[in-house]
């Protein structure tokens, strides 16, 4: 079975500006793919090409085995595009808005009434059926935008920042709606800056920067890729610089710095001391120790205690999708 969405060396140029640079994506049927990257990375350009709204400069994009640019008429009934902001005619109420689009999809008569009723129920907007679209809150407008693209029951949903500008409650409601759509078997491509929610919602994530795909895989795979070692935070009551030297001399410790130090000069290694701070906290990166050798990073407190230091804190910094994104887009992981 071919991928539901596939791009092959997809490139889009605006004059000298390269918005997409040989982008290769594969999204399988039923996937919820989280598309993340800095502003201007190429997320919206990719989504608009897949929505048949932009022509690529070169390369190829396929939806359900059909090729963008050559089979757009066959592709459009299969997709639903949710932009970051929706528009509506002035004074149009919710039911009129949905009936207008249902008619454009060729849904008429009693079937149109039933379809509008069903999507209002699915998106929990039935009680707003007679409200003016422009009077709705941002969150309700986004749910209405999702209701609109569900009228023709598309296989693929292309969602560009659907949670942008939503308050916490509206974000939770949008997340639960997307979970339900995934349970219905929809293939979803969603771009967002709210990374914790993507980690919970998506089974596959892609990180894009400057038009190039840096990494694509499950959240766990991306986190493993970005995990350069264990990041530890250690606090002592006093003699922090001396404690940093002790830790820096231990096998497997890659780097030690004073947590409140602002300059690179505060870094500690086996040959030098920490400078620039009188604080009592340290941050360090340690390699994965050989468990078979009987050592791991939990030996660090024992070493410090044996040398007379009193420990106030010993924690490991978790690596999640947010920290993985920051490391990968800053080029910290090769």
User: What are the domain boundaries of the chain?
Assistant: 5-89+135-225, 228-318
* Lowest-confidence pick of 8-17, 22-31, 144-153, 317-326: 317-326
Beta-strand pair 156-160/79-82: parallel
Q: Which residue has the higher pLDDT, 239 or 278?
A: 239
What tokens does 245 get? 């030297």
Q: Which residue has the higher pLDDT, 224 or 304?
A: 304
User: Rounded to whole angstroms, how far apart are CA atoms 50 and 45?
Assistant: 9
**Cα 173 to chain centroid, rounded:** 18
Tell me: pLDDT of 23 over 60: yes
Strand blocks (E) in 17-121: 17-27, 32-36, 58-63, 66-67, 79-82
Q: What are phi and psi of 125, to 5 degrees?
A: -120, 10
Q: CB of 333 within 8 A of CB of 226?
A: yes
The CATH number of the domain covering residues in 5-89+135-225: 3.40.50.300
Tell me: pLDDT of 155 over 90: yes
User: Rounded to whole angstroms, how far apart are CA atoms 332 and 334?
Assistant: 7
* pLDDT over 90 percentage in the chain: 44
Confidence of residue 99 (pLDDT cuts 50, 70, 90): very high
Confidence of residue 270 (pLDDT cuts 50, 70, 90): very low
Average pLDDT of the residues of the chain: 83
Classify domain 228-318 at the CATH class level: alpha beta
Q: What is the pLDDT of residue 24?
A: 95
pTM confidence score:
0.73
Confidence of residue 153 (pLDDT cuts 50, 70, 90): very high
Neighbour-count burial for 203-215, b at 16+ CB within 10 Å, e otherwise? ebbbbbbebbbbb
Q: What is the pLDDT of residue 144?
A: 94
Tell me: pLDDT of 138 over 50: yes
How far, CA to CA in Å, does 96 sit from each of 134, 135, 214?
13, 14, 43
Confidence of residue 253 (pLDDT cuts 50, 70, 90): confident
């Amino acid at each position: 079975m071919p991928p539901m969405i596939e791009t092959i060396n997809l490139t889009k140029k605006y004059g000298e500006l390269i918005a997409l640079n040989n982008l290769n994506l594969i999204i399988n049927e039923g996937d919820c793919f989280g598309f993340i990257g800095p502003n201007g990375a190429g997320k919206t350009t990719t989504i608009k090409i897949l929505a048949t709204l932009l022509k690529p400069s070169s390369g190829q994009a396929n939806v359900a085995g059909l090729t963008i640019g050559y089979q757009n008429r066959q592709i459009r009934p299969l997709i639903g595009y949710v932009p970051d902001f929706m528009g509506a005619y002035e004074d149009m109420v919710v039911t009129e808005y949905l009936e207008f689009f249902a008619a454009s999809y060729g849904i008429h008569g009693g079937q149109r009434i039933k379809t509008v009723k069903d999507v209002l129920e699915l998106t929990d907007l039935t009680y707003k059926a007679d409200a003016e679209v422009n009077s709705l809150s941002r969150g309700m407008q986004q749910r209405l935008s999702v209701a609109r693209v569900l009228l023709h029951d598309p296989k693929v949903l292309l969602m560009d920042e659907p949670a942008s500008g939503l308050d916490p409650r509206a974000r939770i409601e949008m997340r639960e709606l997307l979970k339900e759509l995934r349970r219905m078997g929809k293939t979803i491509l969603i771009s967002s800056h709210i990374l914790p929610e993507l980690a919970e919602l998506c089974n596959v994530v892609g990180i894009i920067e400057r038009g190039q795909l840096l990494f694509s895989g499950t959240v766990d795979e991306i986190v493993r890729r970005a995990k350069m070692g264990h990041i530890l935070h250690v606090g002592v009551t006093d003699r922090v610089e001396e404690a940093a030297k002790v830790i820096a001399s231990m096998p497997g410790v890659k780097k030690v710095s004073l947590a409140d130090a602002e300059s690179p000069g505060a870094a500690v290694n086996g040959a030098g001391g920490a400078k620039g701070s009188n604080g009592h906290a340290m941050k360090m990166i340690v390699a994965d120790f050989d468990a078979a050798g009987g050592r791991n990073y939990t030996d660090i407190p024992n070493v410090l205690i044996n040398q007379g230091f009193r420990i106030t804190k010993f924690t490991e910094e978790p690596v999640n999708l947010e920290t993985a994104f920051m490391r990968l887009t800053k080029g910290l992981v090769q």
